[in-house]
Protein backbone atom coordinates (compact mmCIF):
# COMPACT_ATOMS: atom_id res chain seq x y z
CA UNK A 1 0.00 0.00 0.00
CA UNK A 2 1.28 3.41 -0.97
CA UNK A 3 0.58 6.46 1.20
CA UNK A 4 0.49 10.03 -0.02
CA UNK A 5 2.90 12.55 1.56
CA UNK A 6 -0.03 14.00 3.53
CA UNK A 7 -1.00 10.57 4.83
CA UNK A 8 2.57 9.82 5.86
CA UNK A 9 2.77 13.09 7.77
CA UNK A 10 -0.53 12.33 9.48
CA UNK A 11 0.61 8.84 10.50
CA UNK A 12 3.87 10.25 11.82
CA UNK A 13 1.99 12.85 13.86
CA UNK A 14 -0.34 10.20 15.29
CA UNK A 15 2.62 8.00 16.23
CA UNK A 16 4.36 10.89 17.97
CA UNK A 17 1.18 11.81 19.83
CA UNK A 18 0.74 8.21 20.99
CA UNK A 19 4.35 8.09 22.16
CA UNK A 20 3.86 11.36 24.06
CA UNK A 21 0.73 10.04 25.78
CA UNK A 22 2.56 6.84 26.67
CA UNK A 23 5.47 8.77 28.14
CA UNK A 24 3.11 10.92 30.20
CA UNK A 25 1.36 7.85 31.55
CA UNK A 26 4.71 6.28 32.44
CA UNK A 27 5.75 9.49 34.15
CA UNK A 28 2.53 9.53 36.19
CA UNK A 29 3.01 5.93 37.38
CA UNK A 30 6.56 6.59 38.55
CA UNK A 31 5.60 9.84 40.30
CA UNK A 32 2.63 8.27 42.06
CA UNK A 33 4.47 5.22 43.32
CA UNK A 34 7.64 7.00 44.45
CA UNK A 35 5.74 9.79 46.20
CA UNK A 36 3.52 7.29 48.03
CA UNK A 37 6.42 5.13 49.18
CA UNK A 38 9.14 7.75 49.75
CA UNK A 39 7.85 11.05 51.16
CA UNK A 40 11.17 12.76 50.44
CA UNK A 41 10.40 12.32 46.73
CA UNK A 42 7.17 14.34 46.79
CA UNK A 43 8.67 17.17 44.72
CA UNK A 44 9.93 15.40 41.61
CA UNK A 45 10.85 18.02 39.00
CA UNK A 46 11.40 15.78 36.00
CA UNK A 47 11.50 12.17 34.85
CA UNK A 48 13.27 11.07 31.70
CA UNK A 49 14.43 7.89 30.03
CA UNK A 50 18.11 7.07 30.23
CA UNK A 51 20.13 5.32 27.50
CA UNK A 52 19.89 2.15 29.61
CA UNK A 53 16.77 0.16 28.72
CA UNK A 54 14.12 0.23 31.44
CA UNK A 55 15.95 2.78 33.59
CA UNK A 56 14.50 6.22 34.28
CA UNK A 57 16.17 9.33 35.69
CA UNK A 58 14.33 11.08 38.51
CA UNK A 59 15.30 14.69 39.23
CA UNK A 60 14.63 16.15 42.68
CA UNK A 61 16.14 19.61 42.89
CA UNK A 62 19.74 19.19 41.76
CA UNK A 63 19.83 15.54 42.83
CA UNK A 64 19.41 12.59 40.47
CA UNK A 65 18.05 9.12 41.23
CA UNK A 66 17.25 6.17 38.97
CA UNK A 67 14.24 3.89 38.97
CA UNK A 68 12.43 1.23 36.97
CA UNK A 69 9.27 1.78 34.94
CA UNK A 70 6.99 1.25 37.95
CA UNK A 71 8.96 3.01 40.62
CA UNK A 72 9.48 -0.25 42.51
CA UNK A 73 13.22 0.22 42.90
CA UNK A 74 15.36 3.30 43.47
CA UNK A 75 19.07 3.65 42.78
CA UNK A 76 21.23 6.46 44.13
CA UNK A 77 24.58 6.64 42.41
CA UNK A 78 26.30 7.39 39.12
CA UNK A 79 25.37 6.04 35.71
CA UNK A 80 28.47 5.31 33.62
CA UNK A 81 28.54 4.70 29.87
CA UNK A 82 31.35 2.13 29.70
CA UNK A 83 31.49 2.15 25.90
CA UNK A 84 32.05 5.89 25.56
CA UNK A 85 33.74 6.23 28.96
CA UNK A 86 31.30 8.94 30.07
CA UNK A 87 29.81 9.71 33.45
CA UNK A 88 26.21 10.35 32.39
CA UNK A 89 25.13 11.40 35.88
CA UNK A 90 27.89 14.00 36.11
CA UNK A 91 26.99 15.37 32.69
CA UNK A 92 23.31 15.68 33.60
CA UNK A 93 24.03 17.40 36.92
CA UNK A 94 26.29 19.87 35.10
CA UNK A 95 23.46 20.63 32.66
CA UNK A 96 20.83 20.95 35.40
CA UNK A 97 22.90 23.34 37.49
CA UNK A 98 24.27 25.44 34.62
CA UNK A 99 23.68 29.19 34.80
CA UNK A 100 23.64 31.36 31.68
CA UNK A 101 26.61 33.65 32.33
CA UNK A 102 24.98 36.44 30.34
CA UNK A 103 21.99 36.30 32.71
CA UNK A 104 24.06 37.06 35.81
CA UNK A 105 23.13 40.43 37.39
CA UNK A 106 26.68 41.77 37.20
CA UNK A 107 25.60 45.18 38.53
CA UNK A 108 25.10 43.45 41.90
CA UNK A 109 28.72 42.28 42.00
CA UNK A 110 32.06 44.06 42.18
CA UNK A 111 34.97 43.15 39.95
CA UNK A 112 38.56 42.12 40.56
CA UNK A 113 40.70 42.22 37.41
CA UNK A 114 44.07 40.51 37.13
CA UNK A 115 46.33 40.78 34.09
CA UNK A 116 44.38 41.31 30.88
CA UNK A 117 41.16 40.12 32.51
CA UNK A 118 40.24 38.15 29.41
CA UNK A 119 38.93 35.07 31.19
CA UNK A 120 35.84 35.52 33.31
CA UNK A 121 34.30 33.84 36.34
CA UNK A 122 31.61 34.72 38.83
CA UNK A 123 31.86 33.72 42.48
CA UNK A 124 29.24 33.69 45.23
CA UNK A 125 30.92 33.97 48.62
CA UNK A 126 30.11 34.61 52.27
CA UNK A 127 32.77 36.73 54.03
CA UNK A 128 32.61 34.44 57.07
CA UNK A 129 33.21 31.28 55.03
CA UNK A 130 36.52 29.59 55.88
CA UNK A 131 36.50 27.61 52.63
CA UNK A 132 36.06 30.89 50.75
CA UNK A 133 39.21 32.31 52.35
CA UNK A 134 41.17 29.25 51.27
CA UNK A 135 39.70 29.53 47.77
CA UNK A 136 40.54 33.25 47.55
CA UNK A 137 44.20 32.57 48.36
CA UNK A 138 44.36 30.09 45.47
CA UNK A 139 42.36 32.35 43.15
CA UNK A 140 44.84 35.18 43.82
CA UNK A 141 47.47 33.13 41.96
CA UNK A 142 45.39 33.02 38.76
CA UNK A 143 46.30 35.67 36.18
CA UNK A 144 44.45 37.18 33.22
CA UNK A 145 41.03 36.82 34.77
CA UNK A 146 38.08 39.04 35.68
CA UNK A 147 36.29 37.94 38.83
CA UNK A 148 32.72 39.08 39.42
CA UNK A 149 32.32 38.79 43.17
CA UNK A 150 28.79 38.37 44.49
CA UNK A 151 28.55 38.85 48.25
CA UNK A 152 26.27 36.06 49.42
CA UNK A 153 25.60 36.35 53.17
CA UNK A 154 23.91 33.09 54.12
CA UNK A 155 25.83 31.93 57.20
CA UNK A 156 24.18 34.19 59.75
CA UNK A 157 23.49 37.77 60.91
CA UNK A 158 27.19 38.59 61.22
CA UNK A 159 27.66 37.61 57.57
CA UNK A 160 24.98 40.11 56.58
CA UNK A 161 26.59 42.89 58.66
CA UNK A 162 30.07 42.19 57.30
CA UNK A 163 28.78 42.00 53.72
CA UNK A 164 27.10 45.38 54.13
CA UNK A 165 30.35 46.92 55.38
CA UNK A 166 32.32 45.42 52.50
CA UNK A 167 29.75 46.50 49.91
CA UNK A 168 29.77 50.05 51.27
CA UNK A 169 33.58 50.30 51.35
CA UNK A 170 35.11 52.97 49.12
CA UNK A 171 37.21 50.33 47.36
CA UNK A 172 35.18 47.11 47.53
CA UNK A 173 37.79 44.90 45.89
CA UNK A 174 40.61 46.12 48.14
CA UNK A 175 38.49 45.74 51.28
CA UNK A 176 37.49 42.22 50.22
CA UNK A 177 41.07 41.10 49.54
CA UNK A 178 42.30 42.68 52.78
CA UNK A 179 39.77 40.62 54.71
CA UNK A 180 39.87 37.36 52.75
CA UNK A 181 43.49 37.12 51.58
CA UNK A 182 45.67 39.52 53.55
CA UNK A 183 44.18 38.73 56.98
CA UNK A 184 43.52 42.38 57.71
CA UNK A 185 40.53 43.73 59.59
CA UNK A 186 37.28 44.11 57.71
CA UNK A 187 36.08 47.68 57.24
CA UNK A 188 34.00 49.15 60.03
CA UNK A 189 30.42 50.19 59.47
CA UNK A 190 30.27 53.39 57.44
CA UNK A 191 27.55 55.90 56.91
CA UNK A 192 25.61 53.37 54.92
CA UNK A 193 24.84 52.95 51.26
CA UNK A 194 22.32 51.17 49.06
CA UNK A 195 22.70 47.49 50.00
CA UNK A 196 19.64 46.15 48.19
CA UNK A 197 22.05 44.28 45.87
CA UNK A 198 22.83 41.89 48.72
CA UNK A 199 19.19 40.92 49.06
CA UNK A 200 18.96 40.40 45.31
CA UNK A 201 22.04 38.17 45.45
CA UNK A 202 20.40 35.97 48.05
CA UNK A 203 17.19 35.78 46.00
CA UNK A 204 19.18 34.92 42.88
CA UNK A 205 20.99 32.19 44.78
CA UNK A 206 17.74 30.72 46.01
CA UNK A 207 16.30 30.73 42.51
CA UNK A 208 19.32 28.88 41.12
CA UNK A 209 19.75 26.67 44.22
CA UNK A 210 23.13 28.01 45.26
CA UNK A 211 23.26 26.42 48.69
CA UNK A 212 26.89 26.79 49.70
CA UNK A 213 29.92 29.01 49.38
CA UNK A 214 32.08 29.39 47.50
CA UNK A 215 30.14 28.62 44.34
CA UNK A 216 32.02 29.37 41.12
CA UNK A 217 30.29 29.96 37.78
CA UNK A 218 32.38 29.81 34.62
CA UNK A 219 31.73 31.57 31.32
CA UNK A 220 30.33 28.41 29.72
CA UNK A 221 27.59 28.28 32.38
CA UNK A 222 29.12 25.40 34.35
CA UNK A 223 29.36 25.83 38.07
CA UNK A 224 31.32 24.20 40.85
CA UNK A 225 30.41 24.29 44.55
CA UNK A 226 33.34 24.26 46.94
CA UNK A 227 36.89 25.53 47.19
CA UNK A 228 38.87 24.76 44.04
CA UNK A 229 42.64 24.98 44.17
CA UNK A 230 44.71 26.98 41.68
CA UNK A 231 45.28 24.07 39.31
CA UNK A 232 41.59 23.16 39.28
CA UNK A 233 40.61 26.77 38.59
CA UNK A 234 43.00 26.87 35.63
CA UNK A 235 41.64 23.59 34.28
CA UNK A 236 38.07 24.81 34.54
CA UNK A 237 38.91 28.13 32.89
CA UNK A 238 40.55 26.28 30.01
CA UNK A 239 37.54 23.99 29.68
CA UNK A 240 35.15 26.97 29.67
CA UNK A 241 37.16 28.62 26.91
CA UNK A 242 37.07 25.43 24.84
CA UNK A 243 33.83 23.57 25.73
CA UNK A 244 34.49 20.80 23.22
CA UNK A 245 37.74 19.77 24.86
CA UNK A 246 37.71 16.80 27.27
CA UNK A 247 38.05 17.62 30.96
CA UNK A 248 41.38 16.69 32.59
CA UNK A 249 39.86 16.35 36.05
For the entire predicted model, the pTM comes to: 0.74
Q: What are phi and psi of 65, to 5 degrees?
A: -130, 170
The pLDDT mean for the chain works out to 89
pLDDT of residue 121: 97
> For domain 5-97, which architecture applies?
Roll (3.10)
Least confident of 46-50, 58-62, 190-194, 236-240: 190-194
pLDDT of residue 25: 79
144-160 pLDDT, tens digit each: 999 999 999 999 999 99
Provide the residue ranges of all domains of the chain, joining segments of one domain with +.
5-97, 101-241
Q: What is the band of 61 on the pLDDT scale with cuts at 50, 70, 90? A: confident
Q: How far is CA 174 from CA 166, 182, 188, 227, in A?
A: 9, 10, 14, 21
pLDDT of residue 19: 46
Asked whether residue 190 carries a pLDDT value surpassing 90, the answer given is: no
**Helices and strands, counts by H and E, the chain:** 7, 11
Asked whether residue 42 carries a pLDDT value surpassing 60, the answer given is: yes
Q: Which CATH superfamily is domain 101-241 in?
A: Glutaredoxin (3.40.30.10)
Q: What is the band of 5 on the pLDDT scale with cuts at 50, 70, 90? A: low
Q: Tell me whether domains 5-97 and 101-241 share a fold.
A: no
3-state secondary structure of 80: strand
Q: What is the band of 249 on the pLDDT scale with cuts at 50, 70, 90? A: very low
Amino acid sequence: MTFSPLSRRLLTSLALAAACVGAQAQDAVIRKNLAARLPQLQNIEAIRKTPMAGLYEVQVGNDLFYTDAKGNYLIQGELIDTVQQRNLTEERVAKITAVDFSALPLADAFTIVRGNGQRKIAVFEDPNCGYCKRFEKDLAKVDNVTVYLFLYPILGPDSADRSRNLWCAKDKAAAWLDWMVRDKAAPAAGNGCDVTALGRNVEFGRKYKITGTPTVIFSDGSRVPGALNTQQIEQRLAQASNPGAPSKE
